[in-house]
Amino acid sequence: MLGMAARVIREARPRRGFGGTMAQDGSRKVYVKSYGCQMNVYDAQRMADVLAPEGFSETTEMADADLVVLNTCHIREKAAEKVYSELGRVREMRRDREAAGGAMQVVVAGCVAQAEGGEILRRAKGVDLVVGPQSYHRLPALLDAARVRPVVDTDFPADSKFDALPQPRPERTRQRGVSAFVTVQEGCDKFCTFCVVPYTRGAEVSRPVTAILAEVERLVAAGVREVSLLGQNVNAYHGEGPDGAAWTLPRLMRRLAETPGLARIRYTTSHPGDMDDDLIALHGDLPAAMPYLHLPVQSGSDAILAAMNRRHGRDEYLRIIERVRAVRPDIALSSDFIVGFPGETDADFRDTMALIAEVGFAAAYSFKYSPRPGTPAADNVAQIPEDVKTARLHELQALLDRQLRAFNAATVGRTVDVLVEKPGKHPGQMVGKSPYLQAVAFEGRGAQAGDIVPVRIGGLGNFSLLGERADIEPDRESA
């Protein structure tokens, strides 16, 4: 997760490695750099799990790596272009290693790999393997083949990668922390006119309930206390249940909540069109469901929503928010916004600003519209000039930034349950997350990763809320 301030206004930043390093002497080392969404973070972990039995351990230093994997994002042009500049840097590293008698294999994975395939080999020298997100279970065989000549695998194989991906050892899971991602659904059938996802990740596929339960039970047995269920359209989940029926996301969440030791469940990303009654109700009656909802609206203008093929209007969105707030008044709301979609007038933009003002968001991601080749909106003649997009983005982010600050400021003076994640920067300090996904730093005083402790929020730091444990008397402890 990005820091709180960054979550509001920045485009997704690259995440380095897997969050932890493990250098086993004598083993080969893999360095993975993930860009874009949380699903890529999950995929990066699963790639490491496939490679672990092959003798690969993870490193956070590219220069030490026998294998470099760039796990790419294709959602906007800027994200996609980053790969090519990074590949230039990788090529230099590879040259240095080879000059010193070593070797380095280079893999481009993720959505750029899926979308551009062999074009990557033509544009960038020194790539051994281009592999799409559906083929990670074949990595060892593909790497072997790529020793002879460069390989491209962007198939959508009939066998599910999920069935074929090995599970990590419990120690590896523990190293990754107390909060885990679990992809439950991939792909998208919605075809918003700006979006490449239906093309890069393909049609909606939901994992079967039993496979998800088994994965979550294994995670919890290794110490995980919180799972975030991931899907490009996670609330359209309709995986096969043990009874043969298609289960919805709320049904899956209610079943997962019965897992002893699992304290928190989150889900992302949702589409307003799939916010059904049961999912809304669950926010009011399932304690494990965290009071946080990421529900992208993209625009507050009905005309733009229609042009985006979002399949809902502004009022429909506002009604959903009203209903969620009726069952869970304190819920933290988050959204994605696109400014400068083709044809967006000043009045359309004002509608978006008014919607933001009406809802009040705790977090948001906002972007300038980026034309993606092959999507309908890219061919629209009414493209918006860059300087207009920039001005709108700044104005919108300033408002969202104020709302985020207000949301955090409103937590000051309250006591919130914090899921403890790890030691903080200062001696004795621990950091974790509030139910609203705010980072919280506090004097640990015996709190361990995985504990859930009440913390009285006393103030706001740069990247986290600052507080004191509310379950220990300060005076008696320090005496």
Binding site for ligand 5AD (CB under 6 A): 75-76, 194-195, 296, 298, 336, 338, 367, 369-370, 372
Closest approach of ligand SF4 to the CB of residue 233, in Å? 5
Chain centroid, CA 393 distance in Å: 22
Cis peptide before 259 (omega within 30 of 0): no
Q: Which does 338 bind (CB under 5 to 8 A by kind): ligand SF4, ligand 5AD, none?
A: ligand 5AD
Q: Is there a contact between 121 and 150 (Cβ–Cβ < 8 Å)?
A: yes
Q: Which does 256 bind (CB under 5 to 8 A by kind): ligand 5AD, ligand SF4, none?
A: none
Any known ligand binding at 434?
A: no
Q: Stretches 194-202, 315-323, 324-332, 393-401: which one binds ligand SF4 (CB under 6 A)?
A: 194-202
x/- site string to ligand SF4, residues 215 to 234, per CB under 6 A? -----------------xx-
How far, in Å, CA of 38 to CA of 429, rounded?
A: 27
Which phi and psi (to 5°) does residue 20 adopt?
-160, 155
Any known ligand binding at 192?
A: yes
Confirm or reject binding of residue 192 to ligand SF4 (CB under 6 A).
Answer: yes
Q: Is there a contact between 364 and 336 (Cβ–Cβ < 8 Å)?
A: yes
Q: Is there a contact between 71 and 110 (Cβ–Cβ < 8 Å)?
A: yes
Confirm or reject binding of residue 206 to ligand SF4 (CB under 6 A).
Answer: no
Helix, strand, coil tally for the chain in percent (to 5) = 40, 20, 40
Closest approach of ligand 5AD to the CB of residue 87, in Å? 22
Q: Which is nearer to ligand 5AD, 67 or 197 (CB)?
A: 197
Max Cα distance, the chain (Å): 71
CA 388, 392, 393, 396: dihedral to nearest 10 degrees? 180
Q: Which is nearer to ligand SF4, 121 or 195 (CB)?
A: 195
Work out the angle between the directed axes of helices 314-327 and 346-359 (0-180°, nearest 10).
10
Q: Which does 301 bind (CB under 5 to 8 A by kind): ligand 5AD, ligand SF4, none?
A: none
Please select the residue that binds ligand SF4; options are 68, 180, 188, 439, rule is CB under 6 A: 188
Chain centroid, CA 377 distance in Å: 25
Any known ligand binding at 195?
A: yes
User: In what helix (H) or strand (E) does residue 349 lie, and over which residues does it extend?
Assistant: helix 346-359
x/- site string to ligand SF4, residues 7 to 46, per CB under 6 A? ----------------------------------------
Beta-bridge partners for 334 = 294, 363
How far, in Å, CA of 342 to CA of 344, rounded?
A: 6
Residues 6+ apart with CB under 8 A from 65: 29, 30, 31, 59, 104
- Strand ranges (DSSP E) for 315-380? 332-339, 363-368
Q: Could you tell me whether strands 67-72 and 105-109 are parallel, antiparallel, or unpaired per DSSP bridges?
A: parallel
Any known ligand binding at 416?
A: no
∠ CA 165-167-169, rounded to 5°: 150
Q: Stretches 66-74, 130-138, 190-198, 342-350: which one binds ligand SF4 (CB under 6 A)?
A: 190-198
Q: Which is nearer to ligand 5AD, 138 or 310 (CB)?
A: 310
How far, in Å, CA of 298 to CA of 310, rounded?
A: 9
Scanning the structure block, which residue is given the tokens 């062999």?
118
**Total number of residues binding ligand SF4 (CB under 6 A)?**
10
Q: Stretches 183-191, 213-221, 244-252, 350-358: which one binds ligand SF4 (CB under 6 A)?
A: 183-191
Confirm or reject binding of residue 312 to ligand SF4 (CB under 6 A).
Answer: no
Please select the residue that binds ligand SF4; options are 7, 271, 328, 433, rule is CB under 6 A: 271
Any known ligand binding at 427?
A: no
Closest approach of ligand SF4 to the CB of residue 335, in Å? 12
Q: Which does 370 bind (CB under 5 to 8 A by kind): ligand 5AD, ligand SF4, none?
A: ligand 5AD
360: left (phi over 0), alpha (psi -120 to 50) or beta: left
Q: Stretches 148-156, 195-203, 320-328, 342-350: which one binds ligand SF4 (CB under 6 A)?
A: 195-203
Confirm or reject binding of residue 311 to ligand SF4 (CB under 6 A).
Answer: no
Confirm or reject binding of residue 375 to ligand SF4 (CB under 6 A).
Answer: no
Annotated binding site for [4Fe-4S] cluster: 37, 73, 111, 188, 192, 195
